[in-house]
Amino acid sequence: MTTQTAYRCSRIFDGEKIHRDAVLLLEGGAVVDLCGPSQVPATASQVDLGDGILSPGLIDLQVNGGGGLMLGDVESVEDIARICHAHLQLGTTALVPTLITDTPETTRRVVTLGIEAWARGVRGFHGLHLEGPHLFKGRKGAHDPDLIRPMTGDDVELYLYAARQLPSLIITLAPETVTPDQIGVLADAGIHVSLGHSGATYEECRAATEGGASCVTHLFNAMSPLQHREPGLVGAALDLGALSVGLIADGVHVDPVAMKIALKAKTGPGRIFLVTDAMSQTGTDVTSFTLGGREIFRRDGTLTLADGTLAGADIDLPASLRYLTQTLEIPLETALGMATSIPASVLGRPMGRLAEGNAADFVLFDEALGVSSVWLNGQALVG
């Protein structure tokens, strides 16, 4: 008989709400129950974590690199594991590494390595996010315009193959650069089509959503803005309930007032979730690095090209949570949900909640939302 373990903490967030003086009961690396102290079996091994906040592991659906590596530079499964480990130490127990616009050859290599990483059980790896190359050059951001291109039949074939082999596949595209049929084919295969780097009109975005698009990539950034006569992609993101929306909460990519407005506007089935858009610097103290042969500068919490264009973000999910709760005064339950249960719902996978049968992936925060400990499948992360 497998021994059960009971973790007691002053506050436990289950993915939706906070429970006080509750106990998380585990068995065999999975969650058994969230209960009161009096309901713990006498045979269970008990661990008192004291004061703090026990939460499901954090989930990041847009992370370009970490540990000194960009996803586009990986040459082995071990390289992917290195990126994942940099974020695991920061409480992100599930991440979807993101490849920004690159060559067909690099895309195929990364897809192949991603499939192998999943087959080999790389800790923290939960699929791939292909951000490009089917974008609108007028909203390219830091993407290389020479590599942005239309979607071909070979591309679709690769994406469908990847979707069959990976637990999750997200593709960011500009709806005005692809056909409705292409969006439908991808969505029907279980691919999460995300709208981004686009100058599309509201109607173009609505048509893409009706065709199967379900997400929006880094709200407000690199997209047609909300205007009083043309709501654009921002308007579609906030208005259409079928769209879930990623947000970079660093105070740089989006003004705090705009964040508050978005959070008030976006209710219903599609909600706002946190992403870091982190680059290779995560988990390191580097001050610059290269992206597609161009130097990225790290200064005062920002990452930019030489011309000042934002190039990803210099933030992690715990820092995002602190920004939301301390600077914007967003309720703790709301902020934690944006980094756990909401992105889990976007992927449609059983994680992001401390619910019976889910893997025991969780993180202990101190009162200031600093990460104290991380567990994967009920085992404490060491090193």
Concatenate the DSSP letters of all residues of 205-226 into one string: HHHHHHTT--EESSTTTTB---
Rounded to whole angstroms, what are the CA distances from 150 to 100, 182, 183? 15, 11, 13
Q: Rounded to the nearest 10 degrees, what angle do helices 180-188 and 153-165 cross at?
A: 20
Residue 282: predicted pLDDT: 63
**How far apart, in Å, are the Cα atoms of 311 and each of 47, 183, 256, 281, 283?**
43, 27, 19, 12, 17
Picking from 11, 14, 6, 3, the residue whose alpha carbon sits closest to that of residue 337 is 14
pLDDT tier for residue 283 given thresholds of 50, 70 and 90: low
User: Which has the closest alpha carbon to 257: 322, 318, 327?
Assistant: 327
CATH for 4-55+354-380, among 2.30.40.10, 1.10.10.10, 3.40.50.300, 3.40.50.720? 2.30.40.10
What average pLDDT does the structure give for the chain?
93
Count of Cβ atoms closer than 10 Å to residue 153 Cβ: 8
Q: What's the pLDDT score for residue 227?
A: 97
What does the pLDDT read at residue 313?
63
Q: Are 257 and 230 in contact (CB under 8 A)?
A: no
Least confident of 12-26, 156-170, 277-291, 352-366: 277-291
Please tell me the distance from the alpha carbon of residue 292 to that of residue 135, in angstroms, as a whole number. 17
Which pLDDT value is given to residue 270?
Answer: 81
Cα 179–Cα 182–Cα 188 angle in degrees, nearest 5: 140
Q: Residue holding tokens 């991808």?
A: 186
Report the share of the chain in percent with pLDDT over 90: 86
Nearest-angstrom CA–CA distance, 105 and 107: 5
Distance CA 21, CA 159 (A): 46
Residue position matching structure tokens 């997400």: 215
Active site residues: 277
Measured CA to CA, the distance from residue 271 to residue 318 in angstroms comes to: 19
pTM as predicted: 0.94
pLDDT band for position 383 (cuts 50, 70, 90): low
Q: Per residue in 248-274, pLDDT tens?
A: 999 889 999 999 999 999 987 789 999
- Mean pLDDT across the stretch 93-112? 97
d(CA 10, CA 22): 7
Q: What is the assigned CATH class of domain 58-347?
A: alpha beta
Q: How far apart are CA 167 and CA 126, in angstroms?
A: 6
Cα gap 76→82, rounded to integer Å: 10
The yes-or-no verdict on residue 285 having pLDDT over 80 is no
Mean pLDDT of 219-246: 97
| Domain chopping of the chain, boundaries | 4-55+354-380, 58-347
Average pLDDT, integer, range 160-180: 97
